[in-house]
Amino acid sequence: MTSRPLSRITIVGGGSAGWMTALYLNRYYNSGATRTKITLIESEDIGTIGVGEATVHSIRFFFAAMGLDEAELMRETGATFKTGIRFRNWKKPVAGQTHEYFHPFEEQRLPAMVDLTTAWFSSDRAQSERYDQGTCLSSHLMAEGHGPKGPSSGPYQGVVPYGYHLDAVRLGRYLRRKAVEAGVEHRVGTVDRVETQGERILALHCNGQRHEADLYIDCSGFRSLLMSQLKQDNWQSFEDALPCNRAVALQLPYPKGASPRPYTQATALDNGWVWEIDLQERRGNGYVYDGNRLSPEQAEAALRAHLGVPADMGQALHLKMKIGCLKEFWVGNCLAIGLSGGFIEPLESTGLHLINLSVRLLATHLNGAEVAQPVKDSYNRLMNGIYDDLKRFIILHYCLSDRDDSPFWRQAADSAKHSPRLQQDLALWQHKVCEFMDLAGSYATVFTDENYRFVLYGMGHTPTFAPIGDPAQHQALFDQLAARVQMALQQTLPHHQALAALK
């Protein structure tokens, strides 16, 4: 049975969400004989969010699928490589040392009867090294300032998995150019009226013209311009669990002698945490904080004090964040993608990842101009699952802290109560290693058991069990890993050389 073909899709918003969606759908629908007209309407008067500079590793597959040249993408967006996140100060100092751990995108699976993590705990290696140091390559590359790639790595391939740090504004412009070259129609104008009938959009009004489409995609950012007019009471806030709802961002030149680091740094402060994201020509910094505890002025002062920069250096950008997501992402003939659909604070840099997921899922669900309700229900259920899953993973970073030096951190320690599934898993993981099947039935998209382990054990939530296996076999595993580390160091370039090779 065939349904009426989709002839026209209109996207409102020209931020990363709008252009990623346009690029993907254009490639998906217009590579063959069928033609679906894809139009993107973007306001000149309303800016994009202008932040969102770190990614997870899966974004490489999106860029590759879009046929983008990696070196060109990186040159045009001032991008650097990211092999993970270095977390600092998320627990009390130990013996006067700032608490620290690394969350890479990688896990080593070595063939052995007893897995590497169990061998690591059974060998009591926690006495002499951190979990990430003992179980992956990226941690050592990071320590030596190496990027993920070597001279012989192909596009989008590395010795270890990697994401990027990129300039959000330049990324928007680059994606726009690519999408327009590929045939997406670009209209500049502010949508000033949304004509609706029940839960359907009949037309958009922009520049005095009436604009009709089969499907409308709301990429208008936190405004949620289209969705807000279709359904009331459609928002679920996560701010009880994740109270950081404001940010202040500050772009700065590199301190003398510094060069871009191939990892994001996330340092906890009294009321949230600070990101440091290194691009080719500058460093992006920002304090993500609980706006109920700190004013924007206090937050900016705390950020400047932390970075050691005076009040008159750089122009700070203050942002409000809506933490949560829609209950229904697809209502009638309209969907929300990007910030208009939801946002979970940027701790694990998942904004672009969620856009990638949303648009891929849309493409596999969208089967014609008239979409049956079970299809929309499926999309909504999956998107809710994905957000809920991510919320759980972000809570994990906070709830394991033993910091009690501010009301913010005392509340954070209690935040697992907002995720019964996490509470149950944390109880389990006191007694056994976290494994793939423990997360069965969840919607893990990019963060799976390996990511949970790096955060759990980095934050000291380690299992207690009697040592298992043969110590000599465990040692053989660690020797094998040490050899891989040496090989990875030889195969990869120092980060600054890897960046120079792009030019």
Binding site for ligand FAD (CB under 6 A): 12-18, 41-43, 46, 48-49, 51-55, 168, 190-191, 219-221, 223, 225, 247, 286, 319, 321, 338-340, 346, 349-352
Answer yes or no: are the C-beta atoms of 329 and 35 closer than 8 Å.
Answer: no
**What is the spatial distance between Cα 202 and Cα 200, in angstroms, rounded to a whole number?**
6
Nearer to ligand FAD, 28 or 343 (CB): 343
Q: How many CB atoms lie within 10 A of CB 466?
A: 5
Residue 463 three-state SS:
coil
What are 219's two structure tokens? 């990429």
**What is the spatial distance between Cα 178 and Cα 77, in angstroms, rounded to a whole number?**
13
Residue type, 162: Y
Please report which residue ranges of 325-470 form alpha helices under DSSP H: 351-365, 373-399, 407-412, 420-428, 449-458
Residue 318 three-state SS:
strand
Nearer to ligand FAD, 389 or 425 (CB): 389
The torsion angles phi and psi of 198, rounded to 5 degrees, stand at 60, -125
Answer yes or no: are the C-beta atoms of 347 and 394 closer than 8 Å.
Answer: yes
| Nearest distance, CB of residue 223 and ligand FAD, angstroms | 5
| Nearest distance, CB of residue 77 and ligand FAD, angstroms | 13
| Nearest distance, CB of residue 390 and ligand FAD, angstroms | 12
Q: Angle CA(107)–CA(113)–CA(116) in degrees, nearest 5?
A: 30
Please report which residue ranges of 66-115 form alpha helices under DSSP H: 70-76
Nearer to ligand FAD, 15 or 332 (CB): 15
Nearer to ligand FAD, 337 or 422 (CB): 337
Residue type, 257: G
What are 489's two structure tokens? 């160091």
Specify burial of residue 112 (Cβ count, 10 A radius: 0-12, 13-18, 19+).
middle
Write the secondary structure of 176-190 as one string of H (helix), E (strand) and C (coil).
HHHHHHCCCEEEECC
**What is the spatial distance between Cα 500 and Cα 503, in angstroms, rounded to a whole number?**
6
Nearer to ligand FAD, 158 or 351 (CB): 351
| Nearest distance, CB of residue 257 and ligand FAD, angstroms | 26
Q: Angle CA(149)–CA(154)–CA(155) in degrees, nearest 5?
A: 95
| Nearest distance, CB of residue 376 and ligand FAD, angstroms | 21
| Nearest distance, CB of residue 355 and ligand FAD, angstroms | 6
391 is catalytic: no
* Catalytic residue of the set 37, 82, 149, 503: 82
| Nearest distance, CB of residue 188 and ligand FAD, angstroms | 9
Nearer to ligand FAD, 15 or 158 (CB): 15
Nearer to ligand FAD, 225 or 383 (CB): 225
Active centre residues (catalytic): 82
